[in-house]
Amino acid sequence: KPGEQKRAKEPSSVQCMHLAVVACGDRLEETLIMLKSAVLFSNRRLCFHIFAEDSLKPEFEKKLKEWPSSYTKKFDHNIYPITFSVGNAQEWKKLFKPCAAQRLFLPVILKDVDSLLYVDTDVLFLRPIDDIWRTLKEFNSTQLAAMAPEHEIPKIGWYSRFARHPYYGTTGVNSGVMLMNLTRIRSTQFKNSMIPSGLTWEEMLYPLYQKYKNYITWGDQDLLNIIFSFNPECLYVFPCQWNYRPDHCMYGSNCKGAEEEGVSILHGNRGVYHDDKQPTFKALYEVIRDFPFEDNLFQSLYYPLQSKFLETVHTLCGRIPQVFLKQIEKTMKKVYENRVIVYLGANHRY
């Protein structure tokens, strides 16, 4: 109307949920299955930021184009080369697993992105990303990142028993699922063990690595633990069901959140999707991998999963199938409810 101001339209990059992953070596399939799990269940639009070796870029482009349009229209994607803005690139690239240290540089590289969810390639979403994305609104005024504990029980945790460097809290944190407010990270002066005054994120990374490189075992995860040990007020800790690993069930169930609510994000670290040590994790990976996009979720995903789980009851993780199935069942029911409502609405005659 005349005299009324037009409301500025939000750019699509603000409207979508940003998901970043770093893929090198033989991680192409794992990464694609992770992205598939994200697209299958999420509601809002997704923006994928894929950091990959040059040799993998054409493969990613080819495989993503093969997905049906009903799914490709739910996300945008960008593929970036592996780059390190400070220090020795070869040193960073060889730190722990190939290219994993790239995640430390996301605030520096993705300057136009406000917030981001970073995940390892061996992660599977069992519920919409929308649900973890809402955690950003729960951050207090000093928190700028969120991770889950490395272990639930300090006396048998790795950091509490073996670490020779500072780490966060009593058990350390696991960086396989990391929610970040990049704007806050870029504008914060971080306390550190090198100089009395604060340093920016980018200024701190390489000197910190140089100081502790002879003491770190888990690469970039150890560096993140060191950073947040000096800046604990900056970290929001989310519960174990948001980063559920074999450690949470292979010695007996020790993630209460997953027992109550079900697993939200599955993290198959130590290669468990590809060997027979944890068949429950492998079953989930294979069923999502083999699910034909346009098929019925209950018929072609949920029921095959139930059948495969029957073969894993000889393991401690396999004895608690409800922990793995609860969220995925709830999510599928919501997907169907939404589709029925949309269908009825479109066909309703007054």
DSSP track, 238-269: --GGGSB-GGGTBTB---HHHHHH--SEEE-T
pLDDT (0 to 100) of residue 157: 72
- What average pLDDT does range 45-60 have in this prediction? 96
pLDDT at 41 over 60: yes
Q: Which CATH superfamily, name and number, covers 17-238? A: Spore Coat Polysaccharide Biosynthesis Protein SpsA; Chain A (3.90.550.10)
Could you give the dihedral angle defined by the CA atoms of residues 305, 33, 282 and 54, in that order, rounded to the nearest 10 degrees?
170
pLDDT tens per residue across span 67-95: 999 999 999 999 999 887 666 666 766 66
pLDDT tens per residue across span 297-313: 889 999 999 999 999 99
pLDDT (0 to 100) of residue 343: 55
Instruction: With H, G, I as helix, E, B as strand and everything else as coil, classify residue 275.
Output: coil
pLDDT at 347 over 80: no
Yes or no: say if 283 and 305 are a contact pair by the CB < 8 Å rule.
yes
pLDDT (0 to 100) of residue 338: 72
Token pair 């100081």 is found at: 211
pLDDT at 9 over 50: no
pLDDT tens per residue across span 96-132: 565 778 889 999 999 999 999 999 999 999 999 999 9
Spell out the alpha helix ranges (H) of 157-262: 158-162, 182-187, 201-212, 220-230, 256-261
Query: Which of these, 220, 264, 230, 227, lies nearest to 245 by C-alpha position?
Result: 264
pLDDT (0 to 100) of residue 20: 98
pLDDT at 348 over 60: no
Locate CATH 3.90.550.10 in the chain: 17-238
pLDDT (0 to 100) of residue 71: 94
Give residue 228's pLDDT band: very low, low, confident or very high (50, 70, 90): very high
DSSP H or E stretch at residue 329: helix 321-347
pLDDT (0 to 100) of residue 8: 38
pLDDT tens per residue across span 140-151: 999 999 999 988
Arithmetic mean of pLDDT over the chain: 88
Q: What is the pTM of this model?
A: 0.90
Is the C-alpha dihedral spanning 156, 157, 162, 165 positive or negative? negative
pLDDT (0 to 100) of residue 87: 62
